[in-house]
Amino acid sequence: MKRMLWRRALALLLVLLLVLPAAAFTLESRGENALGTAEEGDALTYPAPRRLLRSAQAPSRYDPRESGFVTRVKDQDVNPICWAFGSLGAMELNLLKNGYGEQDLSEQHMYYATAPDGGNGTYGFVRGSKQGHRLYAASYLMRGAMSGAVLEEADPYDTFLRTRDASVTAAITPSYRAQNMIMLSGDTSTIAQTELKNAVLEYGAVGASMYWKGVATSEAGTASTANYNAQTAAYYSAEKNTTNHMVLIVGWDDAFSAENFLESNRPEVDGAWLVKNSWGSGWGDGGYFWISYADATFPSGTFVVDGAEPYSANEVIYETEYLTTTASLAGPSQYAKVFTAQSSGEQLTAVRLYLTDAETDLTISVFTSSDFSSGTPAAQQPFYAKYAGWYTVKLDTPVTLGDAGSAFSIRVSLASGKKHVGYDKLTPIAAGENYYYSGSAWKDLSQAGNYNMAIKAVAQKAPPRGDANGDGLVSVKDVTLLRQYFAGGYDARINESASDVSRDGLVNGKDVTILRRYFAGGYGVTLD
């Protein structure tokens, strides 16, 4: 695509001359609480999954309430869906951390999108109650079908959850999405404590499961006092047990005195995690409480939500699985999936997959046909994950897919046969979609069992002709952007392929004229 390079270079030079003297001595204002605000178009980016958590030494005490880095305390009431409140609470704090302000996401939508009584046998989970865990939440946030997250106002919480048709859930457009959900170590050593502290600082919160001995209601004073000191909002259990409640780690205090815990059940060491609960602000310390570092069960099942950002309607998620387990197949070190393009000209920008093991090295190969075994890859992307979990791996080189109905495929090659990609054993598997390499040949997984591999393709729809700003629409905004572009830049960033309205291989004033005529009344002008 030819450009008027001298004009663009001159405009850039003028901008630099104007802003450099001031920028050298001032800090950019990042808005309230120094968190900043999102710019239009940011939702089209893919933050690279972090390989390591922040390495700086965490302070000995951190309480986000003191700086105002908090979201409102919610109340799950009588419904045992703490897993939805905990996981979406982690996403809300990650959104706040990423500069999108305080958002209220719908736990009810997550529940119905993952429950049999949501009427979604195709996409739902087989379970006999409202109970769940972090993998239910992860599948909801990572999949394309029947997913979210949606705003609370779009699906308000009803204390009495009941059966409803899946079409109601599916009709609600998501407002936000997450790129990764990372499963941290379950270790409670000093090293693991440091990692958890760094994770809170890096992502905004750490979701964790605990063993709560008591009645889980929002009414103050009804919880058992066997482990919980209501006077100091301090909890400690010396009993190792199965977890039954999900909460959010949002802070800590290494010097939190053991004297704050019940005399009849007191740890031998100081130090505690600051935890945000989902039993209302009238419970505990405004909805928060402290859990001793020495607690026998806590923290278990720890995770973080990463890359939370606004949802893009221009994104397409290719998938055949909807619920991922931590199980994995023994043996194969290579997996592949074949997909069919939904529309012409889409760009494959990322691959999303669930890794069952920590310290996993792999290489992703993308093919523009179904031949993933001997064909030449259109792109290859190495990736390393320190922890297990869902990752959206951005391709350094996006791949343009073929026409609607054409095949493309993804191959995942792991450096070690001891590391694996997770799978879904509940969603029916079809022949010709999932493959694994065994011995010296590729085999169809449908012949081995119902192993639907957790590998998804993330693509962007081809922008419509005239969509200069890449928002999926053709509007007067595009005319304004192109006019700015040719007037000297003003840092105007255009989608070049879509901006070539005249289809002459150039982006020039002719395209602005066509768009202006189109919005002025047509004059026989069509854009496609």
Least confident of 53-62, 200-209, 220-229: 220-229
| For the chain, percent of residues with pLDDT exceeding 70 | 80
- pLDDT score of 14: 29
Cβ contact 467:478 at 8 Å: yes
What is the helix (H) or strand (E) element at residue 109, kind and residue range?
A: helix 107-113
Distance CA 411, CA 405 (A): 20
* Exposure string for 447-468, b = 16+ CB within 10 A, e = fewer: eeeebbbbbbbbbbbbbebbbb
The residues pairing with 249 across neighbouring beta strands, listed in sequence order, are: 206, 275
Distance CA 148, CA 485 (A): 36
| For the chain, percent of residues with pLDDT exceeding 90 | 50
Choose among 12, 5, 6: nearest CA to 489. 12
The residues pairing with 410 across neighbouring beta strands, listed in sequence order, are: 337, 366
Distance CA 401, CA 393 (A): 18
Distance CA 294, CA 261 (A): 12
Render pLDDT for 483-526 as a digit per residue (tens, 0 to 9).
888 877 656 677 777 777 777 777 888 877 877 777 776 555 56
Q: At CA 278, angle to CA 246 and CA 310, rounded to 5?
A: 85
Distance CA 357, CA 359 (A): 7
The distance between the two most distant Cα atoms of the chain, rounded to a whole number of Å, is: 85
- pLDDT score of 185: 73
Render pLDDT for 384-411 as a digit per residue (tens, 0 to 9).
999 999 999 999 999 999 999 999 999 9
Written as six digits, the tokens of 506 are 């150039």
pTM of this prediction exceeds 0.85 = no
Q: Which one-letter DSSP state was computed for residue 259? A: G
- Could you please report the per-residue DSSP string of 474-504? -SHHHHHHHHHHHHT-TT----HHHH-TT-S
Written as six digits, the tokens of 394 are 């951005």
Residue 153 has phi, psi (to 5 degrees) of: -65, -20
Amino acid identity of 115? Answer: A
| Helix, strand, coil content of the chain in percent (nearest 5) | 25, 25, 55
| Per-residue pLDDT band at 294 (split at 50, 70, 90) | very high
- pLDDT score of 218: 42
Domains, the chain, with CATH or none: 1-30+463-528 (1.10.1330.10), 56-305 (3.90.70.10), 313-460 (2.60.120.820)
